[in-house]
Chains A and B, each alone.
Chain A
């Protein structure tokens, strides 16, 4: 409706129990919002999970996403993260073809330049782990395509605010 589409990063603290992910993803589906990436894991309290969701949309759509998330009883707190004051990271695992020693050396070399790690070695392939913001991972994946990527797994981004400001439960245990 209004404004141009861009990628928003939403951070939500939710109850850490079965069914919550279903409730949230179901809300996105039924209201026609698209999830670009979603990552979920434990937060600082054992009974709370942090979800990092990226959504492509205009300002109005994303405002509705946040309000609809807030309306869900399993969602404790939600905010849109400002890219300027947010640390975002994504992890990718790539299984890359390495038919000969020269290719293998190249892959290891590039991995080091990107501050990644080789985490598994086989005769004709390597598994490489790389973390960073999504642009860095895109660049590395592009680079590896010339060698031949057999398998690729990306986690989607996870994010926290920089500095003292936080998306946090007041008076948590």
Chain B
């Protein structure tokens, strides 16, 4: 026990969680906390918008596997975090958000900068707490980190009324977290494993479909062991990208709305689909009834509520992905009689070849070519973040990922503006590797003000703006489904991204050839200052393949390249 103020207790509790980085922006209701931080070794990175603080914490968490921390003042500071918290919730990313709040006696009086952030964030956090006795602060912090990082990870918010930060109390840092309503479901049930194994042993054309759960539980080697044992090709969701090296012969690439030919065609032909650490989102399945109609589905997920939510599997294993994969492997390896998979493997090769053809693009500065070129320049452990829209889908399709945690993108919420602040968070987590944000001009404009953070705090990243002067994905839908009625999508080449970069004191360069692009990227990733590379591309470029919304995989449009 030690007597200290609530603000001091918060900072001490953060230190005890080994937090060395906090992304935030101060305000009236967090003054006492910032005063305590003033005396502390915890590095606070001053962001230029609270949304970016949440995204940076999220990027930090996804790159490092540790909990990311963000902080904002009451009212608008707290509500500005909301997009970032919702984003982390949808993609199961462990972040803890601290918000200032008006003093306890003023809560409910519509005081200046008061917002009901507990009410607002209830549906987008695993849990949230408002401090009512400041001696609870050490336990709340401990609980927040534990809940955020365990089970299916996700965001937790702790709201701190200003008087709770100021008053002193005896603080106990040794109390033990005990939450009786928290069901972790880590260990697989042997009978569930047995049912899954029985199906896998009978499979002739098995496909494995993996989501973010494999990365979260660090189960890539277990995944590959099982895939190689069964000779089962592996498709991934957007969150699962990187779970298997994409140059592996069994890697099929992304599945879903903008899935590869190889993933989407082979899932249709699977007789058993082993889905691991994923939630059958509509972007992954397309029309549910047309999604692998021939296959028996085995659903492995740590969240029991995901089983049967979107798709009813034939059998399921509710468990941690790594433990479930280990358990299945050790049974299969005992009972498995090697099957002739040559026919199945030749299908795999055939469809992969078709997909490779698409990477050649249309010539000129086509995104598939640019991304293929980028891959040649980046080291294998470089981290790539993306914005949302065409830039994201091109990156998912054409930038091969070789290691887990090196492809960071906003999947579930689809948040434009995520990639750049996430790249700052990832760079802080992994300062030794190059970090590149693949952006579109529309997305980058949503959070570009944090170029200021990057220069002031010395966080060098590379932003590649695939600039079609359009809200490109919306334009693509208008082109394909609304007879080219381009409604409110033209951005008309404003701003000049080179000048914008220079205004912030970072480097800006425009390139008009593949060679120029390669040179610019090579210089940028070696620089200790952030570089914005503006790459003008044709506004007519589409992302293909594409499964139209509500259609099924068999209706996939291959598009201009094939």
* Contact of B334 with A by CB under 8 A: no
- B contact residues around A71 at 8 Å (CB): 183, 303-305
A75 touches B181 (CB 8 A): yes
B180 touches A76 (CB 8 A): yes
In the assembled complex, the Cα of A116 lies from the Cα of B471 at a distance in Å of 68
A74 touches B181 (CB 8 A): yes
In the assembled complex, the Cα of A15 lies from the Cα of B304 at a distance in Å of 21
- B contact residues around A67 at 8 Å (CB): 304-305, 307-309
In the assembled complex, the Cα of A117 lies from the Cα of B309 at a distance in Å of 47
Q: List 5 A-B contacts (CB under 8 A).
A: A19-B118, A26-B123, A60-B312, A70-B304, A71-B304
Least CB distance, A128 to chain B, in whole angstroms: 38
- A contact residues around B181 at 8 Å (CB): 14-15, 72-77
Output the residue of A15, A73, A74, A75 with the most chain B CB within 10 A. Answer: A73
* Contact of A46 with B by CB under 8 A: no
- A contact residues around B179 at 8 Å (CB): 73
A68 touches B127 (CB 8 A): no
Closest to A12 in B: B181
- Interchain residue pairs A-B with the least CB separation, the first 6: A67-B305, A76-B181, A73-B127, A71-B305, A30-B123, A73-B181
In the assembled complex, the Cα of A12 lies from the Cα of B122 at a distance in Å of 19
Closest to A172 in B: B180
* Contact of B126 with A by CB under 8 A: yes
Residues 9-55 of A contacting B (Cβ, < 8 Å): 14-15, 19, 22-23, 26-27, 30
In the assembled complex, the Cα of A26 lies from the Cα of B147 at a distance in Å of 20
* Contact of A86 with B by CB under 8 A: no
Residues of B in contact with A, size category: 10 to 19
Contact A68-B123, Cβ < 8 Å, known A73-B182, A76-B180:
no
A63 touches B127 (CB 8 A): no
Residues 87-101 of B contacting A (Cβ, < 8 Å): none
Least CB distance, A23 to chain B, in whole angstroms: 6
Contact A68-B118, Cβ < 8 Å, known A26-B123, A76-B181:
no
* Contact of B108 with A by CB under 8 A: no
Least CB distance, B184 to chain A, in whole angstroms: 11
B308 touches A64 (CB 8 A): yes
A22 touches B123 (CB 8 A): no
Q: Mark B171-202, 1 if CB is under 8 A from A, else 0.
A: 00000000111110000000000000000000
- A contact residues around B122 at 8 Å (CB): 22-23, 26
- B contact residues around A72 at 8 Å (CB): 181
- B contact residues around A26 at 8 Å (CB): 122-123
* Contact of B119 with A by CB under 8 A: yes
The chain B residues found within 8 Å of chain A, CB to CB, are: 118-119, 122-123, 126-127, 147, 179-183, 303-305, 307-309, 312
Least CB distance, A18 to chain B, in whole angstroms: 9
Closest to B152 in A: A71
- A contact residues around B183 at 8 Å (CB): 70-71
B308 touches A68 (CB 8 A): no
- B contact residues around A27 at 8 Å (CB): 123
In the assembled complex, the Cα of A27 lies from the Cα of B147 at a distance in Å of 19
* Contact of A169 with B by CB under 8 A: yes
Least CB distance, B130 to chain A, in whole angstroms: 8
Q: Mark A77-91, 1 if CB is under 8 A from B, else 0.
A: 100000000000000
Contact A64-B305, Cβ < 8 Å, known A14-B181, A70-B183, A74-B181:
yes
- B contact residues around A74 at 8 Å (CB): 127, 181
In the assembled complex, the Cα of A14 lies from the Cα of B181 at a distance in Å of 8
- B contact residues around A75 at 8 Å (CB): 181
Q: Mark A104-143, 1 if CB is under 8 A from B, else 0.
A: 0000000000000000000000000000000000000000
In the assembled complex, the Cα of A121 lies from the Cα of B180 at a distance in Å of 47
A73 touches B126 (CB 8 A): yes
Least CB distance, B182 to chain A, in whole angstroms: 5
- B contact residues around A169 at 8 Å (CB): 180
Least CB distance, A11 to chain B, in whole angstroms: 15
Closest to A78 in B: B181
In the assembled complex, the Cα of A73 lies from the Cα of B150 at a distance in Å of 13
Least CB distance, A148 to chain B, in whole angstroms: 41
Output the residue of A15, A23, A27, A75 with the most chain B CB within 10 A. Answer: A23
In the assembled complex, the Cα of A14 lies from the Cα of B180 at a distance in Å of 10
Contact A73-B147, Cβ < 8 Å, known A26-B122, A26-B123:
yes
- B contact residues around A19 at 8 Å (CB): 118
- B contact residues around A23 at 8 Å (CB): 122
In the assembled complex, the Cα of A15 lies from the Cα of B129 at a distance in Å of 14
Q: Mark A131-159, 1 if CB is under 8 A from B, else 0.
A: 00000000000000000000000000000
Least CB distance, B390 to chain A, in whole angstroms: 30
- A contact residues around B127 at 8 Å (CB): 73-74
- A contact residues around B307 at 8 Å (CB): 67
Least CB distance, B204 to chain A, in whole angstroms: 29
In the assembled complex, the Cα of A63 lies from the Cα of B244 at a distance in Å of 34
In the assembled complex, the Cα of A161 lies from the Cα of B180 at a distance in Å of 22
- A contact residues around B119 at 8 Å (CB): 22
- B contact residues around A68 at 8 Å (CB): 305
Closest to B305 in A: A67
- B contact residues around A15 at 8 Å (CB): 181
Least CB distance, A146 to chain B, in whole angstroms: 45
In the assembled complex, the Cα of A17 lies from the Cα of B466 at a distance in Å of 51
Closest to B182 in A: A73
- B contact residues around A22 at 8 Å (CB): 119, 122
- A contact residues around B303 at 8 Å (CB): 71
In the assembled complex, the Cα of A26 lies from the Cα of B307 at a distance in Å of 21
- B contact residues around A76 at 8 Å (CB): 180-181
Least CB distance, B341 to chain A, in whole angstroms: 35
